[in-house]
Amino acid sequence: MTDAQPSADRRLAAQALAAGDPTGWFEPLYAEAAAGTSTVPWDRDVANPLLVDWLRTATPSRGTRAVVIGCGYGTDAEFVASQGIRTTAFDVSPTAIRGARARFPNSPVTYRVADLLDPPPSWLHAFDLVIESITVQSLPSDIRARAITGIRDLLAPDATLLVIADIGTTPGTTGPPWPLTRADIDSFTTPDLALVRVEAIPRPDVSGLRRWRAEFHRPPRAVD
């Protein structure tokens, strides 16, 4: 009996990591999915329930500018926009962004191809709400700090960051994904980015597993 073949995401991630390109597996995965030879494991028909539940009670103010990181086909971004929030969403995969635009042809969301590790300069400190859902955990631990820095840099003064991730207990596990430990969650904090609350919430789609939902806040700019 032969060993089971690795899933498409792990196969392509292994190839990209071997080539020294930790984000280089997303576009091939979406391209294979577009060709019908693979599936995107995180693709869903409905928005992430941990995001839905949080956003329905968060009551963001009028004019809030949001960005959804690693948006894939756009399901989460569309829900954010449906709450009256000006929404930008990006993914490193051009095929994913084409898929999002095709899936939601009349969308109010601004979809962009962009890399979290090298975001557009115009996005620096530009958003009032930053939503990071399961993107950091798709990157190996050796670039995690760089990815988290990129996320922090998107936050405007008086902005909120929402992080959703699978819960990990052992650093350095084989991935993807590479679930986040509590230490990983705590590493988002800086002197100007405070942890407001962190929850370990059961996943409604997978019995026995939980996810982090962590909320952070950057204080308003001081008035001279």
- Identity of the amino acid at 191: P
Nearest Cα neighbor of 134 from 34, 208, 50 is 50
pLDDT of 1: 33
Alpha helices in 36-190 (DSSP H): 49-58, 75-82, 94-103, 144-152, 182-186
Nearest to 74 by CA among 43, 50, 114: 43
Residue 207 has a pLDDT of: 75
The pLDDT assigned to 141 comes to 87
The distance between the two most distant Cα atoms of the chain, rounded to a whole number of Å, is 72
The DSSP element (H or E) to which 192 belongs, if any, is none
Three state DSSP letters for 108-151: CCEEEECECCECCHHHCCCEEEEEEECCHHHCCHHHHHHHHHHH
Q: Residue 222: its pLDDT value, please?
A: 63
Q: Are 185 and 214 in contact (CB under 8 A)?
A: yes
Cα angle vertex 127, ends 211, 141, to 5°?
40
CB within 8 A of 188, min separation 6: which ones? 148, 151, 152, 161, 163, 195, 214, 216
Q: Using CA atoms, how far apart are residues 44 and 117, in angstroms rounded to an integer?
A: 25
Low-confidence ranges of the chain (pLDDT < 50): 1-3
